[in-house]
């Protein structure tokens, strides 16, 4: 089983969007039993809050629900629980490494590092553009899923 944890600053916009997009892709591929997918925050600001309405609305356009998701914080022991710890931007990576203390197995990366165009995913909390965030997350999840398929086959 492949275990993926998506991480952003507050766990209300980008990381839950990635979590539920990836869950939807895995479900459509009939591979739910092969994956465990979750998301978390590097900060404590939004802990316990539901997914941002902009993310919920964007995902509803594709029939994807975020029902029951509330922000949680990344913990040091998550490093041992997950195969991939995926941040949305370089600041997330810096904060993840501060919390995790180390990355000896090279599990930590940005989502778009799996694509042909590595870059940060802008935070729609600030930009207000959930469409661009969705497109970037979709691109990243498709590339990450290809990496996961290779891992499952090896």
8 labelled catalytic? yes
Mean pLDDT (whole number) for 28-35:
95
pLDDT of 43-83, one tens digit each? 999 999 999 999 999 999 999 999 999 999 999 999 999 99
d(CA 104, CA 29): 31
Condensed to tens digits (0 to 9), the pLDDT of residues 77-122 reads 999 999 999 999 999 999 999 999 999 999 999 999 999 999 999 9
Domain count, the chain: 1
* Of 150 and 52, the one with more pLDDT: 52
What is this structure's pTM? 0.97
Cα separation, 139 vs 116, in Å, equals: 10
Give the confidence band of 149 by pLDDT, cuts at 50, 70, 90: confident
CATH code at position 101: 3.40.50.2300
Domain that holds residue 123: 2-153
pLDDT for the residue numbered 154: 73
* Of 14, 136, 141, 148, catalytic: 14
Strands 35-41 vs 108-110: parallel, antiparallel or unpaired: unpaired
Q: Which of 56, 78, 123, 148 is catalytic?
A: 123
């Amino acid at each position: 089983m492949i275990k993926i944890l998506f991480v952003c600053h507050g766990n209300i916009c980008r990381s839950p969007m990635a979590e539920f997009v990836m869950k939807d892709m895995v479900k459509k591929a009939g591979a739910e039993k092969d994956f465990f997918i979750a998301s978390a925050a590097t900060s404590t600001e939004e802990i316990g809050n539901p997914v941002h309405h902009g993310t919920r609305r964007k995902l509803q356009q594709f029939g994807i629900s975020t029902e029951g998701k509330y922000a949680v914080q990344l913990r040091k022991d998550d490093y041992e629980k997950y195969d991939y710890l995926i941040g949305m931007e370089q600041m997330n990576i810096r904060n993840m490494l501060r919390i995790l203390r180390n990355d000896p197995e090279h599990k930590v990366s940005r989502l778009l590092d799996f694509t042909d165009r590595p870059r940060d995913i802008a935070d729609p909390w600030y930009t207000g553009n959930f469409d661009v965030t969705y497109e970037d997350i979709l691109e990243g999840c498709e590339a990450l899923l290809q990496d996961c398929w290779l891992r499952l086959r090896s």
